[in-house]
Chains A and B, each alone.
Chain A
Amino acid sequence: MAEMKDMVNKVTDAIGGTMAKLGAASTTSADGFVEQAAIGDAYEIAAAGIALRRSRNDAVRTTAARMISDHTTSRHHLQAALEMNETRGVALPPDRLDTRRETMLEHLAEASEDSSTGLTRTNRSSPTRKPPPSCEATPKAATTRSSARWPSVRCPSSSGIWPT
């Protein structure tokens, strides 16, 4: 039964991921770009955070750390761009993820364990490993227009197991 649920979630996520790419690619407005870019960064940071906390596989952890670093940089550049006159009038991004990404993160959190990739339950993680900094909090910037609202970066605690 659990395997069936994992399978359904994976198919759903694959469709969701494709839709996200299509949505981003078809964006023609500044408002739409900002929304897609902000949500995309927030999702990638959160998803990588799950991997970083649950995996004992060095390759997975290295990739996850890089994802967090790169998407944090991307988010900061977008925030900086929104402080500039050039983007005056562009709508601020939503302050939370869209339903599709929320669901994808829930699926990741619920996913089953896979010993072949070293992904494991959160409570088996090494206690010496610290959570990634970017998952803990979004740094408060000097008071700016763009710091008012931003998709929160959350690293959902996972009691599930990584997809097989």
Chain B
Amino acid sequence: MTFNPLRERGIPLERQFRNWSELNVAPYDTHDVHPYTRARVIFMNGIEVEAIINSHQFARHTADTGIKQNLAMVRRVEQQQQKAVNWLIPGDESTIANTIGYEQVAVDLTAWLARQEPDPYLTRVYEFALLEDFDHLYRYANLMDLMGEGRKAEDITGGLTEIMPGRPTLFHHRDPHDTLRRPITLTAADTQSVMNAITIVAAEQQTMNYYMTRGNIPEDPLARALYLEIAQVEEEHVTHYESILDPTLSWLTNLVLHEYNECWLYWSCMQTEIDNRVRALWELHLAMEIEHLRIACEMQREIEGLDPESYLPAQGMPEPLTFESNKDYLRDVLRRTVDWAPYDARFVPVSDLPDDHRFFDFQRKVNTGGIPSEQVIERHRAEFGGEYRSVTEGDHPVESLREHGNHDRFPYLQTRARQSALEEA
């Protein structure tokens, strides 16, 4: 199954604008929607937001009126697409319930990308952050109970994604220098790697923006605290992922790649969507994006004299991006990488960090005075007599992260204990 948007015909731009009632789509039923339909809606909203931000940034960096006009036209349509997608989310889906959806997107999207990624270094980049989003899901799921939501997180995830600790959130806070990775280059990288990178940056950016703006909605101080703590980790994730993008691209190449990416993703959603009404929206937007891509390619040919077909794959994209259960893979990543820590662009076992590494200093700075991601679990234990977990495949693969496991044996805690002993000595 392959898809080449360069060989398809889209809807002419002048016919793409919709009226207000067409955009104000009927939302899905939060109690009835398939978890991965919700996931695709959250995800594609993030893709459209990135398309709009990228277009605005391009417009601010060019003096060419013709380019600005094309960008403005296409961007207005992208804005309409974003509304039509994001307005599928119903008003009675609370912020915390929607947050569970966001984290399920982060987990199953990142897992799929990591599994498909042809580059071994980039696979590590995805696996590293995967365990952090996996842990966020567990923290928010516990918060959801405390907020009296009336339903469990597994009702949102549909049991398709397990909920248990990943690399604990308190250890995600690190010196910004250690959030930067090694970039790819368009000329040498596989197109799948390029598409994966653009996709994950958009998704993480949306999550970051969501927590930035929605994290202050709850009244409970602990809920507000957890949102702001995890929002800071999402900032790390955006930095982490955007640093793998090719920084040498021209604005027009970057635009073409964004449009190509949108075509691939709408096609993917169309291939995998089970809700016919939502599927029709993906199909409509795909037809629009094919035209956006054509316009971007035409601009590059005219202005830079470069044919995008020279760097886009002749055969198109081989596989649709798919939201699917990744339980076994997650457990394997947990076993292999839960103790990883970044040291500049590399990942090393946390026990290999030098004792005076900047990580420990940063940890002391932000984790002094109470850690919301730990407090939410402690409060859940106090109020409910235990933690909230949704586990379907047996014990946690890491003994020290089991609810009644020996937590002191967790590698990060052992390293911190060693470091504290050294300081006292």
Hey, which bits of chain A sit against chain B, CB under 8 A? Answer: 72-73, 76-77, 79-81, 83-86, 130, 133-134, 136-137, 139-142, 144
Contacts and interface: CB of A to CB of B under 8 A. Distances in A.
Interface in B182-217: 182, 184-185, 188-190, 193
B181 A136 contact: no
A73 B180 CA distance: 10
B182 A84 contact: yes
25 contacts: A76-B345, A76-B346, A77-B182, A77-B344, A80-B121, A80-B344, A83-B124, A85-B118, A85-B120, A85-B189, A85-B190, A86-B184, A133-B354, A133-B356, A136-B354, A139-B343, A139-B354, A140-B349, A141-B346, A141-B348, A142-B124, A142-B340, A142-B347, A142-B348, A142-B349
A141 B120 CA distance: 14
B122 interface: yes
Interface string B316-355: 0000000000000000000001001001111111001111
Interface of B: 118-122, 124, 177, 181-182, 184-185, 188-190, 193, 337, 340, 343-349, 352-357
B344 A72 contact: yes
B349 A84 contact: no
B354 A84 contact: no
A32 B120 CA distance: 23
Contact of B344 (A73, A136, A137, A140): A73
A46 B122 CA distance: 30
7 smallest CB-CB distances across A and B, nearest first, come from: A133-B354, A76-B344, A86-B188, A80-B182, A83-B121, A80-B345, A139-B352
Given A140-B348, A142-B347, A86 B189 contact: yes
A141 B121 CA distance: 12
Contacts of B348: 139-142
A113 B119 CA distance: 50
Interface of chain A, main secondary structure: helix
Contacts of A76: 343-346
Given A133-B354, A142-B124, A86 B185 contact: yes
Contacts of A140: 348-349, 352
Given A136-B354, A139-B354, A80 B181 contact: yes
A134 B354 contact: yes
A133 B124 contact: no
A145 to B, nearest CB: 8
Contacts of A86: 119, 184-185, 188-189
A136 B355 CA distance: 10
Given A72-B344, A130-B356, A142 B337 contact: yes
A84 B181 contact: no
Nearest to B117: A85
Given A136-B354, A140-B352, A84 B344 contact: no
A146 B188 CA distance: 19
Nearest to B128: A142
Given A79-B346, A141-B346, 16 more contacts: A72-B344, A80-B181, A80-B182, A81-B182, A83-B121, A84-B120, A84-B122, A85-B118, A86-B185, A86-B189, A130-B356, A139-B346, A141-B348, A142-B340, A142-B347, A142-B349
A103 to B, nearest CB: 28
Nearest to B187: A86
A133 B182 contact: no
B357 A133 contact: yes
A162 to B, nearest CB: 25
Nearest to B356: A133
A141 B347 contact: yes
Contacts of A133: 354-357
A76 B193 CA distance: 21
Contacts of A136: 354
Contacts of B345: 73, 76-77, 79-80
Contacts of A84: 119-122, 182, 184
B317 to A, nearest CB: 18
Nearest to B185: A86
Contacts of B353: 139
